Amino acid sequence: MKLFYTGSVINAEMLVMMLEKHGIVATQDFVDASAPDDGDLNRPARVFVPETDYDRACQLFYAEREDEL
């Protein structure tokens, strides 16, 4: 697995769902796993994708889209 994103848990959860819709099985964990899970949506989280899907995930979410110009 390769680190794909680090940010708030609310964004990480949405990203995992969006990746899954494109057939990419992603996982997430908390940056500080020892902190209590108090429901804070801004708690820092990380998203990991399989190394074989990393380039495709980057194209889906980070590449500039010419059709939006």
pLDDT tens digit sequence for 5-56: 999 999 999 999 999 999 999 999 999 988 888 888 999 999 999 999 999 9
pTM of the model: 0.86
What is the C-alpha separation between 35 and 33, in angstroms, rounded? 6
Query: Crossing angle for the helix pair 9-21 and 54-61, nearest 10 degrees?
Result: 110
Q: Domain spanning 2-33+41-68 has what CATH number?
A: 3.30.70
Q: Is the pLDDT of residue 65 over 70?
A: no
The more confident residue out of 8 and 68 is 8
What is the C-alpha separation between 41 and 37, in angstroms, rounded? 10
